[in-house]
Amino acid sequence: MSEGKNLVGVDIGSSSIKVAEINEKRGRRSLVSFGYHPLPGETIVDGHVMNSGAIVEGLQKLFHKQKRRDVALRVSGHSVIIKKITMPQMTAAELEEQINWEAEQHIPFDLAEVEIDWNVLSHRTEQGQMDVLLVAAKKEEINDLTNLAVEARLRPRVVDLDAFTVQNAFEAGYGAPPPDQTVVLIHVGASLTTLNILAEGTTSFTRDIANGGNQITEEIQRALGISAEEAEAYKCGGDGRGLVPREVPEVISQVVDQLAGEIQRSLDFYLATSGGVEVSRVLVSGGTANIRALLDAIERRCRVPVEQLDPLRVAQPDGKKVDPALLQARSAQAAVAFGLALRKEREKRT
């Protein structure tokens, strides 16, 4: 259950910051603010902030005209654990007392070092069981993130996870998937790819793959002996630099096929261990989703229709307040920010 105004969604990624603000009135959503700020290389490495000044400066630039400063942030990567567990049927109060013991069995961190949250996914009364989604994130990572926001004079209210923010955007824009369908959401960031498999209407399996758009850039850079900036431009189709060298499509094809292979193995593992129904649909978000070769490779490997997730289905932009050119250029990267912008000031576990 949620109420109050929407929070401003702030997606601090390893290569850029994306900010989105959505207004909801009478059941209609409108995008009233969207911003993008690139970050220098190695600002965030393996989930650890190496250049806090660059992030704070970027946030200040994005929010210099922004009135609302209550924000939702996100964490991802190795500091986050998501587990679907089965527990005996019990009341909410009993679950509150039991959850720490369960967490000790499933979370490979000292519980003093993590924040824990959970949500009941389903009740199976006949078996006397229920499925619970258990989540843990390292306090150090959360504190680092929220401290950066506070330093930029923002007010963090919610910290969410990549997989769930994309799911928020998908369900708001496309509707919840039917219970008899399995849908895969894949978010390909600069350094991390996150899978979220939705089955029977809810999260059934998640996995992070330590591979993303940066690997394509690095391989182009290595193959051509050019700068990272030039390699990034060629990856994005030339970006005004003239003809793309013929080696570039070959490098891109090799790297995306490797990533598609990892995705295929994840789906095969899920299907083999869950007994779930075959995947019916795959949606891809993140800046690398603009590379058609990636979508084609996933479709070829997984033999399932693949499409780019369109976050603009969540909320139509206010033409007087949002730069249409910026939004069009960065829409694939906006899914996490849009999902965060759906979070509210006051929320309760349901």
In tens, the pLDDT along 235-268 reads: 988 665 668 888 999 999 999 999 999 999 999 9
Mean pLDDT of the 82-110 span: 91
Q: Specify the pLDDT at position 320.
A: 87
Query: What's the DSSP call for residue 7?
Result: P
Q: Specify the pLDDT at position 254.
A: 95
Domain range for 134 is 2-347
- Helix, strand or coil, per DSSP, at residue 350: coil
Q: How many CA atoms lie within 13 A of 96 on its CB side?
A: 4
CA distance 216 to 222: 10
Percent of the chain with pLDDT over 70: 97
pTM of this structure: 0.92
CA distance 78 to 58: 24
Instruction: Answer yes or no: are the C-beta atoms of 227 and 258 closer than 8 Å.
Output: no
Instruction: Answer yes or no: are the C-beta atoms of 256 and 302 closer than 8 Å.
Output: no
Residue 308 scores a pLDDT above 50:
yes
In tens, the pLDDT along 112-138 reads: 999 999 999 888 888 999 999 999 999
- DSSP string computed for 290-339: G-HHHHHHHHHHHTS-EEE--GGGT-EE-TTTS-HHHHHHHGGGGHHHHH
Query: What's the DSSP call for residue 276?
Result: P
328 compared with 18, residue with greater pLDDT: 18
* Average pLDDT across the chain, whole number: 91
Q: Specify the pLDDT at position 1.
A: 46
Q: Specify the pLDDT at position 26.
A: 81
φ and ψ at residue 47, rounded to 5 degrees: 85, -5
CA distance 240 to 258: 28
Instruction: Answer yes or no: are the C-beta atoms of 136 and 115 closer than 8 Å.
Output: yes
In tens, the pLDDT along 135-184 reads: 999 999 999 999 999 999 999 999 999 889 999 999 999 998 888 899 99
Residue 2 scores a pLDDT above 70:
no
CA distance 68 to 156: 11
315 pLDDT band (50/70/90 cuts)? very high
Question: How many folded domains does the chain comprise?
Answer: 1
Q: Specify the pLDDT at position 346.
A: 74
Mean pLDDT of the 25-45 span: 90
R_g of the chain computed on alpha carbons: 20
Residue 231 scores a pLDDT above 70:
yes
Residue 349 scores a pLDDT above 60:
no
In tens, the pLDDT along 66-81 reads: 889 999 999 988 888 8
Q: Specify the pLDDT at position 218.
A: 94
Q: Specify the pLDDT at position 179.
A: 86
Percent of the chain with pLDDT over 90: 66
Which of 56, 84, 124 shows the shortest CA–CA distance to 273? Answer: 84
Query: What's the DSSP call for residue 126?
Result: G
Residue 348 scores a pLDDT above 90:
no
